[in-house]
Chains A and B, each alone.
Chain A
Amino acid sequence: QQPVQSPQAVILREGEDAVINCSSSKALYSVHWYRQKHGEAPVFLMILLKGGEQKGHEKISASFNEKKQQSSLYLTASQLSYSGTYFCGTGQSGSARQLTFGSGTQLTVLP
């Protein structure tokens, strides 16, 4: 079953912050985050493994709550280059290499 992402879309001004959530009904082993710009392939941002860790990548970080089967992606001081569609991809124990992607969140950063 596909993870649920929220919000579906968000519009920001440069410098503002955003949070994208990913929720699964199944126990998760891993959560991946990808960004896809229009007409391009998805690009890997980060992976979180079970254990409730939080990781960072420049001004983009993420957390993973294994018990709640939820992950959140945090974008701080957003830049124009952050615009795109963000997907979470979840892996389950036993089939962690096959990802199930969420519905996507379209992020638009305006000047």
Chain B
Amino acid sequence: SAVISQKPSRDICQRGTSLTIQCQVDSQVTMMFWYRQQPGQSLTLIATANQGSEATYESGFVIDKFPISRPNLTFSTLTVSNMSPEDSSIYLCSVERQGPGYTFGSGTRLTVV
């Protein structure tokens, strides 16, 4: 199944700044998914990123706050913009496995101070 390299693994950022998270997949995939997971909580889908088109955002998430790029079939970035302490969370990317189910990146633990 696909292997995902996600960077950075963690970061501490000042409020008002932005952080870009990268996910590199070792095979070509049609869709990439971005999730947020607050500590001890479930995973919430932020958006779905298709190569060559704009990302599709879920209710409660907007492009200005979470811009996504998908320049090719193996790479995507998620930017968390104008951060506040409420953005402190774990962010994960995910892709479909070559079999059933999904594979997740190792996550980016973001703390906003």
Known: A34-B101, A44-B103, A101-B43. 18 other contacts (CB 8 A): A2-B42, A41-B92, A41-B107, A42-B43, A42-B92, A42-B104, A43-B104, A44-B100, A44-B102, A46-B101, A89-B43, A97-B48, A97-B96, A98-B58, A99-B45, A102-B42, A103-B42, A104-B42
The SS class assigned to the A binding surface is strand
In order of increasing CB-CB distance, the 3 nearest A-B pairs are A44-B101, A41-B104, A101-B43
Q: Is the CB of A32 within 8 A of B101?
A: yes
The answer to whether A64 has its CB under 8 Å from any CB of chain B is no
The SS class assigned to the B binding surface is strand
Interface size on B, residues (CB 8 A): 20
Answer whether residue A40 sits at the interface, using C-beta atoms and an 8 A cutoff.
yes
A100 at interface (Cβ–Cβ under 8 A)? yes
A109 within 8 Å of B by Cβ? no
Q: Enumerate chain B residues within 8 angstroms of A41, measured Cβ to Cβ.
A: 92, 104-107
Shortest Cβ gap from A23 to chain B (Å): 14
**B residues in contact (CB < 8 Å) with A:** 31, 33, 41-45, 48, 58, 92, 96-97, 100-107
Instruction: For B100, list chain A residues within 8 Å (CB).
Output: 44, 46-47
Could you say which residues of chain B place their CB within 8 Å of the CB of A102? 42
Residue of A at shortest CB range from B105? A41
Q: What mask results when residues 80 to 111 of chain A are scored 1 for a CB within 8 Å of chain B, else 0? A: 00000001010000000111111110000000
- In this complex, what residue of A is CB-closest to B56? A98
Residue interface mask A44-59, B partner, CB < 8 A = 1? 1111000000000000
Bound-state Cα–Cα, A98 to B43, Å: 12
Pick the contact of A100 from B41, B45, B96 — CB < 8 Å? B45
List chain B residues, Cβ under 8 A from A97. Answer: 31, 48, 96
